[in-house]
Structure 1
Amino acid sequence: MLWSMLSNTPAWFSLALFAGGAATLLPVVWVIRSTFKNQLNTQLASEQALRSQLSQAEQLAEQLRAQQLQSHGQQQQLQARLAERQRQVAEYQQLWQRELDAKEEIQVHAHELEVEMANLQTLLEQKQLSFEQQLAQLEQAKVQLKEEFHNLANQIFDEKSERFSHQSKEKIQQLLQPVQGELKGFRDKMEAIHSEELKQRASLKTELLHLQANNKAMTEQADRLTTALQGQKKAQGNWGELMLENVLDSAGLRPGYDYQREVNFNTDEGKFRPDVVVYLPQSRHLVIDAKTSLNAYTRYINATTDSEANQAIVAHTEAITARIKELGSKSYERLPGLNSPEVVIMFIPVESAFVEAVKHKPTLYQEALQNNVLVATPTTLLTSLNIVKQLWRFEEQSKHTRELALRAEKFYNKLNSFLHSMEGVGKQLDKAKESYERAFSQLYMGKGNLIKQASEFKELGVAVVKELPEELEEKAKLELEPVSQLGNHDSSK
């Protein structure tokens, strides 16, 4: 490059340059070098700018190509949608043309139907007029014939009904006779049950009054006997059983029938002999024990000091508690042949004996219930036994009620059978009347009826002894349909 620059300079400049010597050559070279370097930097910057512009141009070209591709795809989609719309338009045009063709056909057919309807309307009016004229004639004939036939049918039916009524009355009387007997028995049974219930109510009121008096007397007797039997254990046991038997008798229970004493039960666990087994309805039983010891109680009522009284009442309470636990462990309800609830009645013959024990130990009654033992004194036991007696009365009433229900069921079935029989009789009467009317109408009604045929025989020269009724002959000549058929015709209209 330096050489090209020197070659381009004038000759005098080159001579001067060489003449200037080496002293001036270095600055010139430096200047040339700086100039050349600046030009080179400028060219590099231009080249860098051109490259940047080229890169931007390439990116722009790429974007343009992408947009061109996208536009081409959208153009294809639009062309496809346009083709689809054109196809749909063609289909709609075809459908519209078919609708127009169908509409024209419908209009033509509708016009034809209007013409046909007008013709039919005219024909219908003509037929209706003719039919009304014929119907008026038939109605007039129907009324006359119906009235005459009704009178004749009633006359014949009255004769038949009178004879049939006499026979039916005898048959109905035969059917009602057992029903009347059942009704009389049913009424008598109801009156007997009502009378028995009134007697039982009066008897119950009387027994309640006696119960109050007996309770007071037994309490006083128990106090006296307690004092008399002090220290005699066997006598106390017998006396307790005696008091129990008195209570059973006062309640109206019968030994061997309503209750049983000292029944023996032998099991694998040993022998059991409850003092009393009371029979309850539905084959159930109630066990009563009367072996409670009252020795400690007699010491309590005869104690002279508070210390003796306290010791005695403690012993008395413990004796009752021990007896409760003993009875609870026996489990009488498990004995074979004994259908008893899971409770045993422990009878204490002295009211105050149990009262004093409860005062000393308020939880005594709850402990008894926990052991399935029900403590009873003469008063409470008598009340319970009277309830047992009432249960037996209710059982008897239930038995009578069941018998009454059976008789009522028989009566209902008998009455139901009678009603069905009477219904059958009514249906037979209706059928007989219908058959009679149908048979009699065949004499002079309908085409080719019997009276008309008989009249034609007479015209052919058949000898007759007696003429047929003129009225029936005139009706037969009309050959009208039976009344039932005319009625059907009216209903069809």
Structure 2
Amino acid sequence: MEYLVVASAFAAGCLAGWFFARAQFSGELKAAGRTISDLRTQEERLRNELDEARSAMEDERIEHARLETRLTEAQSSMIEQKALVEDAGRRLSETFKALSLDALNQNNTSFIQLADRTMQAILAEVKGDFQKSQGAVEAAIKPLEESLRRYETQIQAIEGSRQAAYGDINRHIGELVKMQDRLADQTRILASALKEPQARGRWGEITLKRVVELSGMSAHCDFVEQPSADTEAGRKRPDLIIKLPGDRQVVIDAKVPLRAYLEAYEAADPGSRATSLARHAKSVRDHMYVLSSREYWKQFTPTPDFVVLFLPGEAFFSAALDQDTALIEDGIDRKVLIATPVTLIALLRSVAMSWQQHSATENAHRIWETGIELFERIKTFMKHFDKVRDGLIRANESYNAALGSFESRVLPAANRLKELSAPDHDQALECQRPVDVTLRRITEQDEAQPDVE
């Protein structure tokens, strides 16, 4: 017995831990997913900026190549001009050699000086043009060089950000892998604990109680917690009895066919998984047959309309229904309804609403009875009120009779006493007015009573 309690507590703890770890892992997984999505968005933005920088740098490089081409062309042009000048000088020299030697000797010095001045002017002009072209090229290249340096700096920063983003992604992925491993370990522990029949049964009962508490039906449900004997026909005591208005009841029995389902979950190949799921569906059907054979409707009075087979997990029922699609119809034919936590909550909520309507009906009946009682008391009060009216009428009649006696007998004697001039009776007696008031009677409108349906 202590082993069962320990195993049940251990299974419940493992189940709670598994659900907690699963919820925590789900939350952290969603947060990590959002972080990865943000990092991917940031990486895409950085890639776009890098592409733009590379495109701009390529444009600058093309411009630089164009300027270098122009510089090369200018240098080539200056060399050609220099060659032309030299060729012109050579030709002039050959022409003058053809002249007379005397004239040449006379004019040689002046011509050479003139040619030298002309050559120097041409060379100076060519050199100035070259320097201007070189300065223009350098002025055009300098902004390009600065832009290339800025782009290189930006590219390095983008690369650093990308490396940091990849590092964060790798770190989050590593944490997710660790969490997945921990969740897998906890799942294996829970699966190992739920392989024990006692632990599975205790888990089913705890889940059933929790569903009843969530539905707000604890006041109308009886849990059977006493130990019961197992016979060849099976256990004859249900896990839960739901009371319905009108002294009716619904019997619920919790079953946890989990062994074949866990084997399907742990199967390594699709064939083994399909075989285990088929055995799981057969196990659910066998539980349905056993529950139908107990014939709870013959053991309880009044007879329950049907028996509910409670499976503590939606996945257990859906997996069995995928393999055996006739489970629901066959269960209805055998007065057995298969319910999961969601469907049982809906059933219990419907029962709770029927109890509310029943309570409202009872309250209305009590209000009707109270109204009838109040009506009878008002009738009694009206009778007493009529007696008061009759008493007032008699008092009025007695008063008027006394007043008549006073006026006819007492007052004349008093007046005669005045005529005799009695000294102490010099004032005349005043006559009293009779009371002539008609009292209203309470009208009983045919002694109306509230209608009774």
TM over 0.5, shorter chain: no
TM range (shorter): 0.3 to 0.5
Q: Which has the larger radius of gyration?
A: 1
TM-score (norm 1): 0.38
